[in-house]
Amino acid sequence: MRFQRVCLEGLGFVLPDECVSSAEIERRLAPLYERLRLPEGRLELMTGIRERRVWRPGTLPSVPSVRSAQLALAAADFPPQSVGALIHGSVCRDHLEPATACRVHHRVGLPARCQIFDLSNACLGLLNGMLQVAQMIELGWIQAGLVVGTESSRPLLETTIATLVSDRPFTRQQIKTAVASLTIGSASCAMLLVEESLSRTGNRLTAAAVRAHTEHHQLCHSGADESVAGGMQPWMDTDSDTLLREGIATGRCTFDDFLSAADWDARTIDVSFTHQVTVQHRRQMYESLGLDSERDYSTVEWLGNTGAVALPTTLALGCRHDRLSNPARVALLGIGSGINCVMTALEWRRGQVQEGTESSLADAGR
């Protein structure tokens, strides 16, 4: 698919204050490690993740999402009343109903004629939302739209650790399905997309490619559908080895379609941002795609896997840390369990990003 009239105008993001190191997780798993004679440092060695972040207990996803949306609008100096669509795209949400987008819409002060809904697709929710808003703009339905989400890893981390040190007789093979849950981190991010005539950045979204290899939908799955407000205690079963192998194969197929849609050559991509899973996943993905890993920007080592907000948050951080030249061809390479893949092309000109702190969330209605 191709786009002619869509620009990525502003980015806003918030990171939690509290860090949880892989070493700390292993200390809490000491009874399991001792029983199975596992060496210390195994978690970081396997994943390349030294730490991840968590929100304060009781934080609803909508609260950081409100702040991220406000920051994206402020970065672009764009009026809330001109936003025609709002999509909340993270895995985590306040309640099963109403849509978490409802509270965000209300707190940000968006207009009544703004179309709003939640969109869920594992780690691809925000990228799918980005394409939905882009199509609305391209069709002339709206002139601007917000895509936002917040992932909260504390419930999954706490449930996984508590289950692993319980009386259940886990074997080494059985605990492998829980390792991916120990890589999860928290973050919040929002993207403002506008019709090109309203843009001051000229950051054009030009093309995208998608792929669904759903024969692999059982490789990673949670238990019952739960909301954060409902005291969710999630447990994830993940066949990490097969998910890695088939995910990279899906990415390889999508990348060929992506280059064709963007009319790019892999060698002409200036910088790329991938979904942040593990260091090993990143290395193997780049080898498979024939991309120079030096052109990548990585946050997984200190943020962990922040789900649907991982890629846009990494893009925002890359912009803040001056990793994007002007101009630049930017590839956003997203992949999620299912297995699904979304890749988008950006002709980058100028960054407009604002970063918030967890302490500022009181203003967003904690």
pLDDT, greater one: 178 or 81? 81
pLDDT of residue 235: 66
The verdict on 78 and 208 lying in the same domain is: no
pLDDT at 224 over 60: no
The number of beta carbons lying within 10 Å of the beta carbon of residue 294 is 7
What CA dihedral angle connects 308, 310, 315 and 321, to 10 degrees? 160
pLDDT of residue 214: 85
The verdict on 10 and 78 lying in the same domain is: yes
Average pLDDT over residues 196-200: 97
Any domain includes 361: no
pLDDT in tens, 159-178: 999 999 998 888 888 888 88
The verdict on 123 and 216 lying in the same domain is: no
The number of beta carbons lying within 10 Å of the beta carbon of residue 326 is 9
pLDDT at 135 over 80: yes
Q: How many domains does the chain have?
A: 2
The verdict on 291 and 210 lying in the same domain is: yes
The verdict on 229 and 155 lying in the same domain is: no
Taking the model in full, what pTM does it have? 0.93
Contact 13, 355 (CB under 8 A): yes
* CATH code where residue 336 lies: 3.40.47.10
Band of the pLDDT at 137, cuts 50, 70, 90?
very high
pLDDT, greater one: 227 or 16? 16
**Domain assignment of residue 192, given as a range:** 2-199
Band of the pLDDT at 233, cuts 50, 70, 90?
low
Any domain includes 208: yes
pLDDT in tens, 286-322: 899 989 888 899 999 999 999 999 999 999 999 999 8
The verdict on 188 and 49 lying in the same domain is: yes
Band of the pLDDT at 48, cuts 50, 70, 90?
very high
pLDDT of residue 112: 98
pLDDT at 70 over 90: yes
Boundary (domain end) residue, out of 181, 199, 217: 199
Any domain includes 357: no
The verdict on 120 and 183 lying in the same domain is: yes
The verdict on 105 and 172 lying in the same domain is: yes
The verdict on 167 and 208 lying in the same domain is: no
Residues forming the active site: 97, 123
The verdict on 184 and 237 lying in the same domain is: no
Any domain includes 89: yes
Average pLDDT, the chain: 91
- Which amino acid, one-letter code, is at 106? H
pLDDT at 243 over 80: no
Any domain includes 86: yes
pLDDT of residue 27: 96
Any domain includes 69: yes
Boundary (domain end) residue, out of 152, 180, 199: 199
Residue % of the chain over a pLDDT of 90: 73
The verdict on 49 and 122 lying in the same domain is: yes
Residue with tokens 């390889």: 252
**How far is residue 345 from each of residues 4, 100, 160, 203, 228, measured CA to CA in Å?**
12, 28, 36, 10, 33
Any domain includes 365: no
Any domain includes 358: no
Boundary (domain end) residue, out of 147, 167, 199: 199
The verdict on 8 and 105 lying in the same domain is: yes
